[in-house]
C-alpha cells in the first residue's frame, strides 16, 4: 500500500483572488479530504465602519477588480434603502445599462481568458500554451473575438461610470454623471458588430460543448441547492426577488433581499478565509448551494430576452433543469452574455437613457439600516449597512457573490478528485484533439 499523500496546488491560477487547493489521499489511494484554501482577506466588513455612507460605493467596490460594478451598485442601493431614497427612473435605467455592460465584459473575460485555455489548448497542455496570451498568438481570430467583446463591455462601463475599473458615478439618489447622446450613439453604432461577435461566441461555446461532451456530462456533476435573482420568473441581475432551488429542482424559497438573514448562513471553515455561504434553513453542509451563471439559469423560469431564451432552451433540451454539471457554468455564462447584449441594445434605444434627470438633490441622511442586492457575475451579492443620523456607516455585513460557491466548489473538487485519483477518469474520458497544439 502507498503512503498517505497530500497534494497542494499553490496557487490556483486563472482565478480572481487567492486560493490554494489541498487534496489528501489515504493509504488505500482513496480521496480523504479536499480543501479550497482562500488564503487572504482584507476586512472590508470592519474598515468601512466610520466612513461617509455616500462614499462607500467608491470604497467597497475595491473588493473586486473584475466586478466592481455590482459592488458599486449593491452598495449605493444599501445606502438608499437605509435612507429611504428612490432615485429617478432614468438613473435606474442607466444603472441597468452599467451592470449589463459589466456582465458582458466580466463573462467575456471569464470565458475567454480564465476558462477557454483549458478547452482550446486542452487540459494536458503545458502552462506556456494553456493561457489567453498563447490563444491570442495561436488562434488570432478567437483572440480578436475575445478582445472585441471584452472591450465593448469595458468601454461602456467607462463611458457611464467614469472609469472602467472602480467606477465613480453612483451616489444615493441617482448618478453624478448623466449618459450623453454622443456616447449612446457611439455604442449603438457598434451594436451590430457586438451581435455578430456574440453569435460567434455562442458557436464557439457550442463547438466546445460538443467536443467535451464526455467530461461536461460526467466530470464533477454534483447536485446542490441553487440561489439566484429573478423578476417574475425571468433571470434578473439588477433588482428582483431571490429564489432558492433544491437539488431536485423544486423552488423552496422566494423572498425579498431585505429578508436575506433568514436564508443566508455563513459557515466559517477552519481552512479558508472565505466563508462558505449556504442555505440556512437546511444547515451546513446539507444546505450547500451554488450561485453564479448556471444557478441563475436553474432558478429562473426563463430569460428576459428572446435570443438568450432560445439559447437557454437549447441548453435545457440537452441537459434538463436543474443542471448539476459544473462545466455547464460556461455554457450558462454565454447565455447570460447574450441576455446582457440584448438588454444593452434595448436600453441604448430607450430615449430615457440620455435623460439628465438622474440625480435627486434633496437626499437626507438618516439613522437606519438598508440592504442592497444585485447579481454579481459570480453570484448573489448583498451589502447591508447601518448608518447613524449623520449618514456615517456604523456597521457592515457582506454576502460576497463568490462565497456562495465555495462549498459547492469543494464538493465539485472532491468529486473530480475521486473520479481522477480513484477511477482514473482522465484516461477514460473522451477528449478532442486540442485546437491549439
Cβ pair 275, 403 in contact under 8 A: yes
Q: Which of 82, 97, 98, 113 binds other proteins (CB under 8 A)?
A: 113
Footprint (CB under 8 A) of other proteins, residues 83-102: none
- Smallest separation, CB 42 to other proteins (Å): 4
Which cell goes with 321? 433543469
Nearer to other proteins (CB atom), residue 172 or residue 240? 172
Residue with the three cell numbers 474520458: 429
Runs of H (alpha helix) within 10-115:
44-47, 56-59, 68-83, 89-108
How many CB atoms neighbour CB 352 within 10 A?
16
CA separation for the pair 72, 336 (Å, rounded): 20
- Smallest separation, CB 396 to other proteins (Å): 9
Side-chain half-sphere of 200: how many Cα atoms within 13 Å?
16
Nearest to 412 by CA among 222, 247, 265: 222
Q: Which of 26, 32, 138, 143 binds other proteins (CB under 8 A)?
A: 143
Bond prior to 322 in cis (omega within 30° of 0)? yes
Footprint (CB under 8 A) of other proteins, residues 5-64: 9-11, 13-18, 20, 22, 35, 37-43, 45-47, 50-52, 54-55, 58-59, 62-64
- Residue 365 in the binding site for other proteins (CB under 8 A): yes
- Smallest separation, CB 64 to other proteins (Å): 6
Q: Which of 370, 372, 391, 408 binds other proteins (CB under 8 A)?
A: 391
326: DSSP letter: T
- Smallest separation, CB 160 to other proteins (Å): 9
- Smallest separation, CB 20 to other proteins (Å): 7
Stretch that binds other proteins, among 232-240, 241-249, 397-405, 406-414 (CB under 8 A): 397-405
- Smallest separation, CB 89 to other proteins (Å): 17
- Smallest separation, CB 199 to other proteins (Å): 20
Footprint (CB under 8 A) of other proteins, residues 144-173: 147-148, 150-151, 154, 161-166, 168-169, 171-173
Give strand ranges (E) for 84-240.
170-171, 174-175, 225-231, 234-235
22: β partners: 8, 35
Stretch that binds other proteins, among 238-246, 336-344, 390-398, 404-412 (CB under 8 A): 390-398
Footprint (CB under 8 A) of other proteins, residues 213-252: none
Burial of 40 by CB count in 10 Å (0-12 exposed, 13-18 middle, 19+ buried)?
Answer: exposed
CA separation for the pair 372, 77 (Å, rounded): 5
Torsion of Cα atoms, 43 then 45 then 46 then 50, to 10°: 140
Footprint (CB under 8 A) of other proteins, residues 175-214: 176-177
**Degrees to nearest 5, angle at CA 107 with 105 and 109:** 65
Site string for other proteins, 256-295 (x = CB under 8 A): ----xx--xxxxxxxxxx-x-x--x---x-----------
- Smallest separation, CB 323 to other proteins (Å): 27
Q: How many residues bind other proteins (CB under 8 A)?
A: 92
Nearest to 284 by CA among 296, 299, 268, 262: 268
Footprint (CB under 8 A) of other proteins, residues 316-355: none
- Residue 431 in the binding site for other proteins (CB under 8 A): no
Give the dihedral sign, CA 305/308/314/315.
Answer: negative
CA separation for the pair 44, 59 (Å, rounded): 9
Stretch that binds other proteins, among 183-191, 310-318, 323-331, 383-391 (CB under 8 A): 383-391
- Residue 116 in the binding site for other proteins (CB under 8 A): no
Helix (H, G, I), strand (E, B) or coil at 365: coil
Nearer to other proteins (CB atom), residue 10 or residue 254? 10
Cβ pair 279, 287 in contact under 8 A: yes
- Smallest separation, CB 430 to other proteins (Å): 23
Q: Which of 32, 92, 136, 367 binds other proteins (CB under 8 A)?
A: 136
Amino acid at each position: 500500500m502507498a503512503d498517505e499523500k497530500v497534494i497542494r496546488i499553490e496557487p490556483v491560477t486563472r482565478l480572481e483572488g487567492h486560493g490554494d487547493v489541498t487534496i489528501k489521499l489515504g493509504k488505500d489511494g482513496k480521496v480523504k479530504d479536499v480543501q479550497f484554501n482562500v488564503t487572504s482577506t482584507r476586512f472590508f466588513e470592519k474598515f468601512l465602519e466610520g466612513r461617509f455612507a455616500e462614499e462607500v460605493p467608491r470604497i467597497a467596490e475595491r473588493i473586486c477588480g473584475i466586478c466592481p460594478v455590482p459592488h458599486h451598485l449593491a452598495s449605493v442601493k444599501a445606502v438608499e434603502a437605509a435612507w429611504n431614497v428612490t432615485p429617478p427612473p432614468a438613473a435606474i435605467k442607466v444603472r441597468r445599462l452599467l451592470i449589463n455592460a459589466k456582465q458582458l465584459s466580466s463573462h467575456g473575460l471569464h470565458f475567454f481568458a480564465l476558462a477557454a485555455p483549458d478547452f482550446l489548448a486542452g487540459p494536458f497542455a503545458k502552462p506556456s500554451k494553456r493561457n489567453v496570451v498563447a490563444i491570442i498568438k495561436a488562434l488570432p481570430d478567437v483572440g480578436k473575438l475575445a478582445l472585441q467583446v471584452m472591450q465593448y463591455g469595458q468601454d461602456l462601463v467607462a463611458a457611464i461610470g467614469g472609469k472602467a475599473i472602480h467606477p465613480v458615478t453612483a451616489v444615493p439618489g441617482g448618478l453624478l454623471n448623466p449618459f450623453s447622446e454622443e456616447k449612446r450613439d457611439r455604442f449603438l453604432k457598434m451594436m451590430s458588430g457586438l451581435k455578430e461577435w456574440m453569435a460567434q461566441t455562442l458557436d464557439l461555446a457550442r463547438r466546445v460543448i460538443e467536443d467535451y461532451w464526455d467530461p461536461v456530462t460526467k466530470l464533477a456533476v454534483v447536485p446542490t441547492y441553487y440561489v439566484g435573482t429573478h423578476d417574475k420568473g425571468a433571470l434578473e441581475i439588477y433588482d428582483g426577488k431571490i429564489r432558492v432551488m433544491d437539488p431536485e429542482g423544486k423552488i423552496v424559497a422566494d423572498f425579498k433581499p431585505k429578508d436575506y438573514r433568514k436564508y443566508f448562513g455563513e459557515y466559517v471553515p477552519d481552512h479558508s478565509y472565505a466563508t462558505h455561504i449556504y442555505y440556512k434553513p437546511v444547515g451546513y453542509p446539507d444546505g450547500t448551494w451554488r450561485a453564479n451563471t448556471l444557478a441563475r439559469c436553474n432558478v429562473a423560469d426563463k430569460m428576459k430576452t428572446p435570443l438568450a431564451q432560445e439559447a437557454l432552451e437549447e441548453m435545457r433540451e440537452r441537459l434538463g433543469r436543474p443542471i448539476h454539471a459544473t462545466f455547464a457554468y460556461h455554457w450558462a455564462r454565454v447565455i447570460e452574455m447574450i441576455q446582457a447584449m440584448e438588454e444593452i441594445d434595448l436600453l441604448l434605444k430607450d430615449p430615457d437613457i440620455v435623460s439628465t434627470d438622474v440625480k435627486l438633490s434633496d437626499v437626507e441622511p438618516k439613522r437606519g439600516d438598508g440592504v442592497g442586492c444585485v447579481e454579481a457575475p459570480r453570484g448573489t451579492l448583498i451589502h447591508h449597512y447601518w448608518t447613524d443620523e449623520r449618514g456615517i456607516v456604523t456597521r457592515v455585513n457582506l454576502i460576497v457573490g463568490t462565497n456562495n460557491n465555495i462549498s459547492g466548489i469543494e464538493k465539485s473538487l472532491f468529486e473530480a478528485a475521486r473520479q481522477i485519483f480513484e477511477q482514473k477518469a482522465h484516461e477514460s474520458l473522451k477528449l478532442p484533439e486540442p485546437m491549439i497544439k
